[in-house]
Chains A and B, each alone.
Chain A
Amino acid sequence: MANTYCTATHTGKGFYTHDDRNTFYLSGHPGDVWAVGNTTAGISWINRVNGVAKVKADAQAIVDAGVEEAQVIYDAESEEYKSANPRPETYILP
């Protein structure tokens, strides 16, 4: 089943529960973007966490901006850091 997308602030404990994870698809991405299984339970979770719904293109743009921001921070880092940590890469949302 296709995913739906939102932005939501990760508030820590209880943001998503074990039961949520066993009930619907959920994955977190840069820019506080969440890909959520497009089911009744998934939509209920978006409402529960006060998520702001996004179409995939807009969600992808937020993720890309988050990755680019991380790339700027990475590029300013030491060679030691770069040798141990790969440069952030853009990718396509699931």
Chain B
Amino acid sequence: MATYKGIQGYSVQVLSSDPPTAISVGQLWYNSTDYNFKITQAGGGAWATGGNFTRVGSTDVRMSGTQTATLMAGGYAPGVLDEALTEKYDGTSWTEVADLNLARYNGFMAGTQTASVFAGGVSIGVNQVKSETWNGTSWAEGNNMTIARAGGGSAGTQTSMIAIGGHTPVNGACYTYDGSCWAASPASLNTARYSGGPAGASATSAIYAGGAPGYMAVSETFNGTSWSEGHNLNVARYALGGFGIATEALVCAGYKPSGSPRDANETETYDGTSWSTASVMGTARYGVGAAGGPGGISSGIIGGGNGDGGLNKASEEWNSPVYTIKTVTVS
């Protein structure tokens, strides 16, 4: 008969407190404080609630950074209209910081909580060329985009960013930012569109999935030279949120052509080849902001958005895998 020591090479450890979950997956131990045998399991990815925005509900906000160091800017709310508000998140709560110089929504944003870019977008009904940079404290005017653009996707960092597609008119052209100036990207999307789900680490590596007009499922990846069409999303939609990198991405939320409700709670993950369905969000919505940082899809955050109940100020945090400590019982 196999024994624990025979399999693991050591006896069941007696610990006064539970070990960190990330390093104890599959391990069994005896907790001498609460007198229980325990194991750590790694479950599938899932969403949990994050902090609520300090502002009222808002749609078409933009986010950058990571799940525990997020920056959110811009947006739109009925009654408030175009928003200049900027908030930062520490993994627990949102705090208002210095406003954008130009209130707007549906812009292009990339970077970190201490170094971001916000460009383009819509202000008072007009697409904008203005680009602002964030230094961790305040927004400063940067060099303008070469064309007024809104509603597309964005990915990368403050010094290597790509703005993908957008409107008006519906466009597949892309633009890159090097920390100083905007320039036309060497390649355009094969399918012109806006309101897709973006992800990517730099101006030369990105993915863009779904979008409008209509309800698109198309997904394209960018290698720095050209956009290539890949495996379609399982659920066609627009106004998605996305984060991750070109070879490991996540999209969620959006608005679907059918269903009840048509607001999407579906999550899909990309492994470099195809999109797979994952655990759904807690609240269906569209027009969310999203951020995840450079680490793929192990963690990320979405927030805000619109839906059948109106605007949303809640955020949700994605983690994969989800580690849990279980008490071993005899039954």
Are the CB atoms of B51 and A80 closer together than 8 Å? no
Q: Which of A23-52 contact B (CB under 8 A)?
A: 26-31
CA distance A55 to B181 in the complex (A): 58
CA distance A20 to B265 in the complex (A): 17
- Report B239 CB to chain A, min CB distance, Å: 9
How many A residues are at the interface, by size bracket? 35 or more
Specify which of A19, A27, A66 is in contact with B324 (CB 8 Å cutoff).
A19
Are the CB atoms of B255 and A22 closer together than 8 Å? no
Which of A69, A86, A92 lies at the interface centre, i.e. has the most chain B CB atoms within 10 A of its CB?
A: A86
Are the CB atoms of A91 and B308 closer together than 8 Å? yes
Specify which of A27, A66, A92 is in contact with B282 (CB 8 Å cutoff).
A27
What B residues does A63 contact at CB under 8 A?
309
Are the CB atoms of A18 and B308 closer together than 8 Å? no
- Report A36 CB to chain B, min CB distance, Å: 11
What A residues does B322 contact at CB under 8 A?
18-19, 22
What A residues does B190 contact at CB under 8 A?
none
What B residues does A11 contact at CB under 8 A?
52
**Which A residue's beta carbon lies closest to that of B89?**
A13
CA distance A13 to B70 in the complex (A): 15
CA distance A18 to B306 in the complex (A): 23
- Report B29 CB to chain A, min CB distance, Å: 19
Q: Which of B84-139 contact A (CB under 8 A)?
A: 92-93, 106, 125
Are the CB atoms of A28 and B282 closer together than 8 Å? yes
- Is B283 an interface residue, CB under 8 A from the partner? yes
Specify which of B51, B308, B319, B324 is in contact with A88 (CB 8 Å cutoff).
B308
One of B5-13, B42-50, B217-225, B226-234 at the interface: B42-50
What A residues does B44 contact at CB under 8 A?
22
- Report B82 CB to chain A, min CB distance, Å: 10
Are the CB atoms of A10 and B310 closer together than 8 Å? no
- Is A6 an interface residue, CB under 8 A from the partner? no
Specify which of A14, A20, A76, A89 is in contact with B78 (CB 8 Å cutoff).
A76
**Which B residue's beta carbon lies closest to that of A73?**
B78
What B residues does A19 contact at CB under 8 A?
46, 322, 324
Are the CB atoms of A17 and B283 closer together than 8 Å? no
What B residues does A61 contact at CB under 8 A?
none
What B residues does A29 contact at CB under 8 A?
283, 309
Are the CB atoms of B310 and A70 closer together than 8 Å? yes
CA distance A20 to B49 in the complex (A): 10
What A residues does B262 contact at CB under 8 A?
86, 89, 91
Are the CB atoms of A86 and B260 closer together than 8 Å? no
Are the CB atoms of A13 and B283 closer together than 8 Å? no
Are the CB atoms of B308 and A67 closer together than 8 Å? yes
What B residues does A67 contact at CB under 8 A?
308-309
Which of A18, A77, A89, A92 lies at the interface centre, i.e. has the most chain B CB atoms within 10 A of its CB?
A: A18
CA distance A85 to B304 in the complex (A): 14
- Is B280 an interface residue, CB under 8 A from the partner? yes
Q: Which of B275-331 contact A (CB under 8 A)?
A: 279-280, 282-284, 287, 306-310, 314, 317, 319, 322, 324
Specify which of B46, B93, B287, B309 is in contact with A21 (CB 8 Å cutoff).
B46
What A residues does B47 contact at CB under 8 A?
18, 21
Task: Given A10-B49, A19-B324, A66-B309, decide whether A28 and B283 contact each other with a Cβ distance below 8 A.
Answer: yes
**Interface pairs (21), CB distance under 8 Å:** A12-B50, A18-B46, A20-B48, A21-B48, A21-B279, A22-B44, A22-B322, A22-B324, A27-B282, A29-B309, A66-B310, A70-B308, A70-B310, A77-B78, A85-B59, A85-B306, A86-B262, A91-B260, A91-B262, A91-B308, A92-B260
Residues of A within 8 A of B (CB): 10-22, 26-31, 63, 66-67, 69-70, 73-74, 76-78, 80-81, 84-86, 88-92
3 tightest CB-CB pairs across the interface, nearest first? A30-B309, A70-B310, A28-B283
